[in-house]
């Protein structure tokens, strides 16, 4: 398939050019947009507004969105779901996860056993590229990238999240109109 | 004077001594790296006679991140997100090169549904990339309206990406063996709505640009490159097809589900900026046609192949390439049989297309350099890697 070569303008085209037909056609279309903005059905707000009114109106991001990390807890017992298996740290391309485990004595079926539990979890969000490989590696659905996308802080140290921050989440300022 | 600039001037045979400067009408103009029309951090050093470009030299490397070296120290699944950051406008297409290379080396049997979803989403990405090209190219030349309209349509595509992959720009779309998730609920209706609305929008861009006398005088006959020259330089993608060479990897070496699709390769005749504009607009129509067919024929089934626990391709050299929005994007992989590649080399379309800039610009005015950089559709993340 071949596209048409640009031809030399014939008489009618020259006439059209003389009367600014090509420019007026474009201007007509933009004018149509200005008039039709109030009734534009495709727009987000229905009033010809395509921009999002952030931060007054917070956008609803998709359920699969890769945002701030979170360590999920058991909803009933509030124990962490993390089993300190270190798979997320191994899956991370940027090496921004540190899982620190400790051994505790537990009694299983009347016998004392040593069990590895989570002590501290360090997540460096400044180096994270939100690829979600850690989330996919997690066998217990504990580590999850959430819909929270506001990650700015005032210092570099603020980007390093510890276990408490990962479990509780950060407080975000809500702006209202 | 910067020593680096002086060496460039020496290369371009520009006078640096005061006596020679007085005799010489030529002057040097440094464009970029912070120039808005260079689409990133490209520095162009122009040798001018009045307003006419006599010679030019490109200075690249401001965005070098050493991705190829990083890849040597990562396991195979971990390298995919870095590919998104090469050509960040077309992250979905770029990611596909890497996973398809590894899949072919491993001999993995990727399910048909994954192939079809890959086809749909990479074509959506091609449209998104061309829309951003159209927006910025038109803005560089002076047509501001198209910027707002094209970004509006691109937003629809980015919303689909966000719902499907969880990110809008650097999606990390594919995993080796298929997709991380099946299509989200409502994927079908979202894609169909976009496909149905899109031709109307494309016609609107054409109304504003294709016959506009300002657009024509800025693009027709500017930056001409003949078919022979284009092949000799190694141009690929729409920049090559604008010169009338029918080369498209989707046709010649079909990957994903392109073998089942019916589409045409649009070709230009003159190899000028206007022809490349027409080619890219027609490519968007053809992409829409491919998406329409793929969504109609989308098979059911799993979206990922069965994978070994650790991905260890057999030792050897491999090359695989796909037709990205900018041109042929390829991956040359040297494996030593371990879990990390020995060497990963990217064949970046933008870098090789940029080599045509000098030939295209010589003899044109300074203002046309902006138009020619725009028509080459370069992304500096990919040039510098």
Is A23 an interface residue toward B (CB < 8 Å)? yes
The strand pairing partners of B45, in sequence order, are: B30, B57
Token pair for B2: 């910067």
Q: Tell me which residue in B145, B172, B181 faces A30 most closely, judged by beta carbons.
A: B145
Which pTM was predicted?
Answer: 0.85
Tokens 């952030």 belong to: A54
Q: Which helix (H) or strand (E) holds B344?
A: strand B343-347
Is A29 an interface residue toward B (CB < 8 Å)? yes
Interface of B with A in 362-381 (CB under 8 A): none
pLDDT tens track, chain B, 385 positions: 555 666 666 666 665 666 666 666 778 888 878 777 777 788 888 888 888 888 888 888 888 888 899 999 888 989 989 998 888 888 998 889 999 999 988 888 889 999 999 999 999 999 999 999 999 999 888 888 888 888 888 888 998 999 999 888 888 889 888 888 888 888 888 899 889 888 888 888 888 888 788 888 888 888 888 888 889 998 998 988 888 888 889 888 888 888 888 888 888 888 888 888 988 988 999 999 999 999 998 888 888 888 888 888 888 899 999 998 998 999 999 998 888 999 999 998 999 999 888 888 888 888 888 889 888 888 888 888 8
Cβ-defined contact of A66 to B167 (cutoff 8 Å): yes
Phi-psi sector, B302: left (phi>0), alpha (psi -120 to 50), beta: beta
What is d(CA B32, CA B107) in angstroms, rounded to the nearest whole number? Answer: 45
- Alpha helices (H) in chain B, listed in sequence order: 3-11, 18-23, 67-71, 76-84, 91-106, 112-141, 145-165, 187-209, 213-219, 227-233, 238-241, 249-252, 273-297, 349-354, 357-361, 366-376, 380-384
Cβ-defined contact of A3 to B74 (cutoff 8 Å): no
What is d(CA B114, CA A40) in angstroms, rounded to the nearest whole number? Answer: 36
Residues 6 or more apart whose CB falls under 8 angstroms from that of B360 comprise B223, B224, B225, B372, B376
- From A5's Cα to the closest Cα of chain B, the distance in A is 6
Cβ-defined contact of A5 to B204 (cutoff 8 Å): no
pLDDT, tens digit, for every residue of A94-117? Answer: 889 988 888 888 877 778 888 888
Angle at which helices B187-209 and B112-141 cross, to 10°: 30
Cβ-defined contact of A133 to B268 (cutoff 8 Å): no
Q: How many helices (H) and strands (E) does chain A have?
A: 5, 5
pLDDT, tens digit, for every residue of B70-92? Answer: 999 888 989 989 998 888 888 99
Interface of B with A in 229-258 (CB under 8 A): 244
Cβ-defined contact of B211 to A25 (cutoff 8 Å): yes
Tokens 């010679």 belong to: B55
Cβ-defined contact of B265 to A129 (cutoff 8 Å): no
- From A110's Cα to the closest Cα of chain B, the distance in A is 36
* Tally of CB atoms within 10 A around B336: 13
């Amino acid at each position: 398939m071949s596209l048409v070569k640009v031809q030399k303008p014939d008489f009618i085209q020259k006439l059209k050019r003389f009367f600014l037909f090509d420019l007026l056609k474009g201007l007509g279309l933009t004018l149509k947009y200005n008039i039709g903005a109030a009734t534009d059905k495709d727009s987000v707000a229905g009033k010809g507004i395509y921009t999002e009114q952030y931060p007054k109106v917070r956008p609803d991001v998709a359920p699969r969105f890769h945002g701030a990390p979170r360590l999920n807890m058991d909803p009933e017992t509030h124990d962490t779901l993390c089993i300190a298996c270190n798979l997320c740290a191994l899956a991370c391309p940027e090496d921004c996860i540190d899982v620190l485990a400790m051994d505790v004595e537990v009694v299983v079926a009347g016998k004392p056993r040593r069990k590895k539990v989570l002590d501290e979890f360090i997540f460096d969000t400044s180096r994270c590229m939100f690829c979600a490989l850690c989330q996919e590696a997690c066998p217990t659905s504990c580590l999850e990238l959430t819909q929270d996308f506001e990650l700015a802080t005032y210092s570099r140290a603020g980007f390093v999240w510890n276990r408490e921050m990962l479990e509780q989440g950060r407080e975000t300022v809500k702006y209202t109109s | 004077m910067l020593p680096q600039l002086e060496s460039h001037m020496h290369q371009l045979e520009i006078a640096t001594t005061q006596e020679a400067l007085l005799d010489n009408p030529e002057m040097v103009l440094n464009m970029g790296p912070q120039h808005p029309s260079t689409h990133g951090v490209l520095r162009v050093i122009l040798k001018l006679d009045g307003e006419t470009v006599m010679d030019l030299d490109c200075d690249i490397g401001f965005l070098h991140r050493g991705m190829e070296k990083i890849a040597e120290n990562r396991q195979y699944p971990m390298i995919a997100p870095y590919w998104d950051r090469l050509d960040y406008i077309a992250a979905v297409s770029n990611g596909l090169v890497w996973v398809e290379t590894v899949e072919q080396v491993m001999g993995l049997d990727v399910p048909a549904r994954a192939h079809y979803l890959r086809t749909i989403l990479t074509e959506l990405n091609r449209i998104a990339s061309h829309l951003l090209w159209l927006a910025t190219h038109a803005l560089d030349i002076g047509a501001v309206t198209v910027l707002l309209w094209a970004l509006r349509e691109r937003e629809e595509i980015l919303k689909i990406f966000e719902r499907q992959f969880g990110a809008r720009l650097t999606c990390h779309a594919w995993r080796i063996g298929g997709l991380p998730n099946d299509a989200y609920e409502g994927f079908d209706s979202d894609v169909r709505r976009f496909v149905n609305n899109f031709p109307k929008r494309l016609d609107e861009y054409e109304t504003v640009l294709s016959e506009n006398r300002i657009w024509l005088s800025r693009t027709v006959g500017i930056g001409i490159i003949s078919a022979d020259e284009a092949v000799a330089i190694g141009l690929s993608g729409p920049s090559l097809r604008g010169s009338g060479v029918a080369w498209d990897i989707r046709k010649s070496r079909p990957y994903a589900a392109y073998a089942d699709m019916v589409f045409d390769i649009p070709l230009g005749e003159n190899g000028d900026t206007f022809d490349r504009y027409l080619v890219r607009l027609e490519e968007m129509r053809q992409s829409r046609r491919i998406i329409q067919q793929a969504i109609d024929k989308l098979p059911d089934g799993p979206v990922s192949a069965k994978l070994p626990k650790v991905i260890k391709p057999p030792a050897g050299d491999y090359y695989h390439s796909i037709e990205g929005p900018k041109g042929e994007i390829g991956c040359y992989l040297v494996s030593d049989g371990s879990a990390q590649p020995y060497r990963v080399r990217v064949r970046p379309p933008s870098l090789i297309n940029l080599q045509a800039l000098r030939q295209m610009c010589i003899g044109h005015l300074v203002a046309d350099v902006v138009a020619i950089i725009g028509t080459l559709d370069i992304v500096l993340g990919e040039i510098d890697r």
